[in-house]
Amino acid sequence: MAGWWRDAVVYQVYIRSFADGNGDGTGDIAGLRSRLDYLRDLGVDALWINPWYPSPMADGGYDVADYRAVEPVFGTADEAAAMIEEAHARGMRVILDIVPNHTSDRHAWFQAALASPPGSPERARYWFRPGRGANGSEPPNDWRSVFGGPAWTRVPDGEWYLHLFDSSQPDLNWDHEDVRAEFEAVLRFWFDRGVDGFRIDVANGLVKRPDLPDLGPHDEEAVLLPADRPDHPHWDRDGVHEIYRAWRRVADSYPEPPVFVAEAWVRSPERLARYLRPDELHTAFNFDYLRAPWDADALRKVIDESLATVAAVDAPATWVLSNHDVVRHVSRLGRPLTPGAYSLAHLPPVETLDRDLGTRRARAAALLMLALPGSAYVYQGDELGLWEVEDLPDEARQDPTWERSGRTEVGRDGCRVPLPWSGTQAPFGFSPDGTGAAPWLPQPPDFATITAEAQDGDPASTLTLYRNALRLRREQPALGDGELTWLPAGPDVLAFSRGGGFTCLVNLSHAPVPLPEGAQVLLASGALDGDGSLPADTAAWLAT
């Protein structure tokens, strides 16, 4: 079945860090509207906007207090409506983030639950339970928060509530009909306002086993690691699929049905495919690809598995290199090979980082990703070649992981630093000139070399590479959704055809490789050697 989402390039807007329109140091809708022409000229098909709802910002907006409004720091409902209309006028669709696993502790439902007694209907929408041990002083079970520490917090009357994330993010009880009805109504609220779809946060976490059993020795959980047991009590339970079938019915009731993309960290491609059956969600993030190391065999394996898995349910593959939860891929690829690592806690120390190598590989990885069949996601700043900011001062860190881990894990702030747009010093055009407010996270001085302004018009810049790649992706009929055929290639080299005389060649080895005889270079991620061969850690799109 044809659909724009099957081969779209979607640009992720982490709104706090994209562009500040009113000068308060925090990104907002006004800033986003001012940069829509930039995004159109980049060549993306859609925008995915991280949560813009009212929130205390305990977890960067993923603690939602009201799903039907806009956080005043980001703007107004009228500004949101204007932004959606203006994006549509430029040929870009708009996907919002929805956070169904938990609310903010400031949400009206949770405030009503706290004001109500144990056993009340208000508490039944969440997971309130009596404690264990003497006087109920121990948590109801041994579950751990993704951000560190117990997944339970006690309230003054002695009961405990479940929060798989921060204590300010109480988990909803999706066995309760009120919860299911409310979120279907929220979907309709935004669909009626022109939103083209939703990215579903923690899509694999909504349903819990009702008896809330102990996890036992496997009590260390992380949202970005697949559950290692077939009957996990709170990750990837079969009951989530009934929810998404209902959501799909809501979407399909519209003349131009909106779409869903799942953030679902699961233990196998086969489990992920269950979310993509024809009556459930349209697409899901391919985290196996994101975690794959810079190794030809490993990449080919995950590409083959991904394509085979989604083909079985007639869904498109998706490809992604970075997002707001993982270390930017320039900084991952510039370190010694570490399969599966995505956080600073699991990567080699910064002293091992070769940023030039990471940049070279990141540029090649972009051409590889954009040549694969299916859709692709570009995290804001990928097109500038941004790296992870790893030396943020402790007092600036805002990720709840930092405090809940006892300041042992720095968390995700380093990939969320505000974008550099122009100028030679902070705030690098992130905020309007003369406003004086510092960005909500500090920018490093060496961002001056990679601002959008500095790269604009430079034929060798990463921004120009992305613009050219996205232009060619639209012009080349073979690119986007479709078939892939592997071609013979040497060790540590990937070569494949997309039909129509289009070939992608990626050199992951340590030595140059010759181009196919008679091939015309459409685009390369770096300069070719003097003899016309493809250097190490370089990719090329070829007409053959």
**Residues catalogued as catalytic:** 201, 263
Locate 339 and state its tokens.
């399969």
How far apart are alpha carbons 419 and 440 in whole angstroms? 11
How far apart are alpha carbons 521 and 541 in whole angstroms? 6
> How buried is residue 254: exposed, middle or buried, by Cβ count under 10 Å (0-12/13-18/19+)?
exposed
Cβ atoms of 462 and 360 within 8 Å: the answer is no
For residue 96, CA distances in Å to 19, 50, 276, 481 come to: 17, 6, 19, 23
How far apart are alpha carbons 109 and 236 in whole angstroms? 25
Cβ atoms of 129 and 212 within 8 Å: the answer is yes
Cβ atoms of 401 and 489 within 8 Å: the answer is no
Collapse the DSSP code of 227 into the 3-class scheme (helix H, G, I; strand E, B; otherwise coil) and give the result.
coil
Cβ atoms of 378 and 324 within 8 Å: the answer is no
Locate 432 and state its tokens.
């309007």
For residue 378, CA distances in Å to 276, 375, 470, 540 come to: 21, 10, 11, 19
Sign of CA dihedral 332, 333, 334, 339: positive
DSSP states along 447-503:
GGGG-HHHHTT-TTSHHHHHHHHHHHHHH-TTSSSS--EE----TTEEEEEEETTEE
How far apart are alpha carbons 476 and 327 in whole angstroms? 32
Q: What is the biggest distance separating any 2 CA atoms in the chain, rounded to whole angstroms? A: 80
Sign of CA dihedral 266, 271, 276, 279: negative
